[in-house]
């Protein structure tokens, strides 16, 4: 499978711009559930939020590094897993947390704060762990990984839509309430459709190489969920909060990962397959976990 490191996927600049726009719409629809008071409440009682941020931006990358040392995958696959681990929580984490009977307000707020933090933490974690892991160091040396450019990408794709959604919810709450569910359904439908079409354009490639990443992604996702739950448990948080932090850590924004892969790594095959498979698997595992947890109410 060594040639996976040399493969570039079929993905045009126009497709990249479209994916940017779709993710911005998804983020805007999520932000329609947020108000400044949500952030103020978490500042007053920050333990759960801080635990979630540590779980997402410290524990998960460290677990990823340990997994890579143990499994020694192809370098491009390894860097794809590092990049996914460096991304903020995924767009469907709030929905899955609600289905799981977890703290939805904490989940939505974690998505917002993690998105803010991603401007700094995503490029930092990619550079730090990617250079620490020797097989991926060579790829980073061949790549112009400009933290400022990544920060600008994250700002326009995630942070700006977040701020606009919160602003609309504050200034026109009735209008925001009317369009919230419709926007969320439409944005997720468009996002899923785009991913399906992108996979179809590279279907032969994914059939050939998905087996090389499937086991790694499943293991990686299991580590992410376990790391989130254990972090929350060690912090002494309630089951209600544990569920939110577990899902927020195990549901990563692989869409952002794909954008960064095509924008800064030229669609490097192993990275793209890892991020794409993550995008499919974390939804399956997250919904399965939510179905299991929904059978009993979480203690608060």
The verdict on residue 150 lying in a domain is: yes
- Overall pTM > 0.75: yes
Residues whose CB is less than 8 angstroms from the CB of residue 96 and which lie 6 or more positions away in sequence, other chains included: 247, 251, 286, 287, 289, 290
In angstroms, rounded to a whole number, what is the distance separating the alpha carbons of residues 102 and 95? 10
In angstroms, rounded to a whole number, what is the distance separating the alpha carbons of residues 53 and 40? 16
Whichever domain contains 31, its CATH number is 1.20.1530.20
The verdict on residue 119 lying in a domain is: yes
pLDDT at 124: 93
Instruction: Give the dihedral sign, CA 162/165/168/170.
Output: negative
Which run of H or E residues covers position 264?
Answer: helix 254-264
The verdict on residue 4 lying in a domain is: no
| Angle between helices 254-264 and 147-154 in degrees, nearest 10 | 140
The verdict on residue 55 lying in a domain is: yes
The verdict on residue 300 lying in a domain is: no
In angstroms, rounded to a whole number, what is the distance separating the alpha carbons of residues 225 and 54? 14
Number of structural domains, the chain? 1
Q: Please count the other Cβ atoms lying within 10 Å of the Cβ belonging to residue 206.
A: 20
In angstroms, rounded to a whole number, what is the distance separating the alpha carbons of residues 51 and 30? 22
pLDDT at 80: 93
The verdict on residue 5 lying in a domain is: no
Q: What is the domain extent for residue 127?
A: 11-293
pLDDT at 1: 42
- In the chain the first and final C-alpha atoms are separated, in Å, by 48
Q: Consecutive 10-residue runs of the chain (300 residues): their mean pLDDT?
A: 57 67 80 74 80 96 97 92 92 82 84 85 93 91 76 81 87 87 80 71 69 89 97 94 95 85 79 84 89 83
The verdict on residue 299 lying in a domain is: no
The verdict on residue 220 lying in a domain is: yes
The Cα-based distances of 250 to 38, 45, 56, 161, 176 in angstroms read: 22, 23, 9, 23, 29
pLDDT at 4: 61
């Amino acid at each position: 499978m060594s040639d996976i490191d040399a493969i570039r996927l079929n993905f045009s600049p126009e497709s990249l711009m479209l994916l940017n726009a779709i993710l911005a719409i998804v983020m805007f629809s999520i932000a329609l559930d947020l108000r400044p008071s949500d952030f103020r409440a978490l500042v007053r009682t920050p333990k759960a939020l801080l635990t979630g941020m540590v779980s997402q931006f410290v524990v998960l990358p460290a677990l990823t590094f340990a997994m890579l040392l143990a499994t020694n995958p192809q370098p491009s696959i390894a860097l794809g897993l590092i990049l996914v681990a460096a991304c903020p929580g995924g767009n469907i984490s709030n929905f899955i947390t609600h289905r799981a009977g977890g703290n939805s307000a904490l989940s939505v707020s974690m998505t917002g704060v993690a998105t803010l933090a991603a401007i700094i933490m995503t490029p930092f974690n990619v550079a730090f762990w990617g250079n620490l892991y020797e097989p991926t160091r060579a790829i980073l040396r061949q790549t112009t990984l400009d933290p400022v450019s990544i920060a600008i990408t994250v700002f326009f794709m995630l942070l700006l839509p977040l701020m606009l959604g919160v602003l609309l919810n504050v200034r026109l709450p009735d209008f925001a309430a009317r369009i919230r569910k419709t926007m969320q359904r439409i944005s997720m439908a468009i996002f899923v459709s785009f991913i399906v079409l992108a996979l179809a354009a590279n279907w032969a490639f994914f059939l050939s190489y998905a087996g090389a990443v499937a086991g790694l992604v499943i293991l990686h996702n299991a580590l992410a969920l376990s790391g989130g739950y254990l972090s929350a448990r060690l912090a002494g948080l309630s089951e209600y909060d544990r569920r939110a932090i577990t899902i927020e850590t195990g549901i990563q924004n692989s869409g952002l990962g794909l954008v960064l892969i095509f924008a800064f790594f030229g669609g490097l095959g192993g990275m793209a397959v890892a991020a794409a498979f993550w995008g499919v698997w974390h939804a399956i595992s997250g919904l399965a976990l939510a179905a299991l947890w929904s059978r009993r109410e979480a203690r608060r």
